[in-house]
Amino acid sequence: MKYDFLIVGAGFAGSVMAERLASQLNKKVLVIDKRNHIGGNAFDEYDKNGILIHRYGPHIFHTNNEKVFKYLSLFTDWEFYEHKVLAKLGEDYYPIPINRTTINKLYKANFTTNDEVKEFLNSKKERRYPIRNSEDIIVNQVGYDLFEKFFKHYTKKQWNIEPKDLSPAVCGRVPVRFDNDDRYFTDKYQFMPKDGYTKMFERMLTHKNIEIRLNTDYFDILSDEKYNFLIYTGPIDRFFNYKYGKLPYRSIRFEWKNLNIEKVQPVGVVNYVDPNKAYTRVTEYKHLTMQNTRTTTISYEYTQADGEPYYPVPTEESHATYHKYQHEVRKINNVIFTGRLATYQYYNMDQVVGAALKQFEEYL
């Protein structure tokens, strides 16, 4: 059979494209994924204790993009959830992003207004201009002490790169607050898909024009399949056979534990910001999914260079290499590169969906 489109990858990028092409343009689509499931890194499943876990780490949906929210709402109902994170520093827990509570607890202060906190941070912060890296962006807002405590070691563990060698966009993802708001995100829409992510993907991909083939690597079937147009959501360097060298990606090894206790953490995610623990964060999934169970499942994240690519690594060097690949992209027709790995962008889920919808409208 001949397909109009071959889509490589059944994560958000590939699934949005498949759904739009099938439902809006009546195109015949084959979606392949080398994994044994759909959903990409947002895949969730019930573990053997009956607890809904995210196999590739905690995924919290948040967006200000109404169009993206409305689009995904075609395939899922939602459960309101505002994510909270605590940093474990020494034996104590502090809200992250840094807020008034964090400052009061750490410096034994008693600030009650935003202005007092602002003034305090003004006395701590060092002016860094221009902002060139992830150290500059934090030190410029809160000073070296807070940077060292909450960002320096966590960042080194996560990326195996010092913050001063990482794009400011990395640590710049985390804001600084003067008030007591202890939510991780402040987006307008903060929800979890009611029946989980995988169910949402199933609904997106269930269409007479869409065929799904799992356990299928694009590079193994290159010459076998007949199709007119390719949509590629895998790593861009692999597509071009690493002709300009390998792009760095960070991977994660997860350690899972089920504990015979109803809940073990006060919030969904605890970040271990000290260097003495090798893991970066511990997630307790029941907080995210609001599931009621007798036991609880947690995951420890250990980041590593090798393994499945999870995060592009935003440095000057990797950007330069990516631009060379991007140049190659411009030379070929009949292929669209979309998603976090194929465009080498540190995108959240909503950004991947937004970009895919835009590409669909512009190019197809």
Interface residues toward ligand FAD, by CB under 6 A = 8-14, 32-35, 40-42, 56-60, 217-219, 233-234, 252, 310-311, 339-341, 347-350, 352
Instruction: Tell me phi and psi for residue 87, to 5 degrees.
Output: -100, 135
Q: Which of 137, 273, 298, 342 binds ligand UDP (CB under 6 A)?
A: 273
How many other β-carbons are positioned within 10 Å of the β-carbon of residue 160?
13
DSSP designation for 303 = E
341 makes contact with ligand UDP (CB under 6 A): no
**Which of ligand FAD, ligand UDP, none binds 158 (CB below 5-8 Å, type-dependent)?**
ligand UDP
Show contacts with ligand UDP in window 253-272 (CB under 6 A). 271
Residue window 163-202: x/- pattern of binding to ligand UDP, with contact defined by CB under 6 A: -------xx-xx----------------------------
Point out which span in 7-15, 104-112, 149-157, 210-218 binds ligand UDP (CB under 6 A). 149-157
Smallest separation, CB 273 to ligand UDP (Å): 5
Handedness of CA 179, 180, 185, 191 (dihedral sign): negative
Using Cβ positions, the residue closest to ligand FAD within the complex turns out to be 40
End-to-end CA gap in the chain? 22
Question: Which amino acid makes up residue 69?
Answer: F
Smallest separation, CB 87 to ligand UDP (Å): 5
Query: CA-CA distances (angstroms) from residue 232 to 11, 80, 261, 309, 356?
Result: 11, 33, 43, 15, 11
Q: H or E stretch including 251?
A: strand 249-259
| Prior bond of 97 cis (ω within 30°) | yes
Smallest separation, CB 122 to ligand FAD (Å): 32
CB nearer ligand FAD, residue 57 or residue 143: 57
CB nearer ligand UDP, residue 173 or residue 253: 173
Instruction: Tell me phi and psi for residue 16, to 5 degrees.
Output: -65, -45
Query: CA-CA distances (angstroms) from residue 49 to 52, 88, 194, 254?
Result: 9, 27, 19, 17
Smallest separation, CB 73 to ligand UDP (Å): 23
Residue window 84-123: x/- pattern of binding to ligand UDP, with contact defined by CB under 6 A: ---x--------x---------------------------
Smallest separation, CB 150 to ligand FAD (Å): 19
Query: CA-CA distances (angstroms) from residue 237 to 85, 183, 325, 339, 350?
Result: 34, 36, 7, 14, 24
Point out which span in 111-119, 150-158, 198-206, 333-341 binds ligand UDP (CB under 6 A). 150-158
94, 151 Cβ separation under 8 angstroms = no
d(CA 245, CA 253): 24
Pairing state of beta strands 226-232 and 296-304?
unpaired
Smallest separation, CB 207 to ligand UDP (Å): 31
**Which of ligand UDP, ligand FAD, none binds 11 (CB below 5-8 Å, type-dependent)?**
ligand FAD
DSSP designation for 248 = P
Binding footprint of ligand UDP on the chain (CB under 6 A): 87, 96, 150-151, 154-155, 158, 170-171, 173-174, 271, 273
